Amino acid sequence: MKAVFIVFNQANTERVEYMLDKLEIRGYTWWNDVMGRGTETGEPRMGTHTWPELNSAILTIVPDEKVDILLEKIKKMDDINVEVGVRAFVWDVLQTV
């Protein structure tokens, strides 16, 4: 199993929900109002007067066989509107309780 951490501009909320539903990914934890800045070209998302936009983030644990298709969908979403931005990070889940 893999943990996938997805950070996305709140403008993509409906797209992310739709993507998870289509891929039958039911379990996740969702954080609203996540602040930050992309490492290379991303504009800050700070919820301030100067940088008013905000991100959301999701952590989901998925079977290994769903990781590639999930990342493919996320990349496609990012390619459609690079300025809005979405990123995903994957790591191994060694144990769960």
Each residue's pLDDT, cut to its tens digit, for the chain (97 residues) gives: 999 999 999 999 999 999 999 999 999 999 999 999 988 778 899 999 999 999 999 999 999 999 999 999 999 999 998 888 899 999 999 999 9
The pair of structure tokens assigned to 49 is 């007067």
Number of Cβ within a 10 Å radius of residue 36: 14
Sign of the alpha-carbon torsion through 20, 71, 10, 47: positive
**pTM for this one?**
0.93
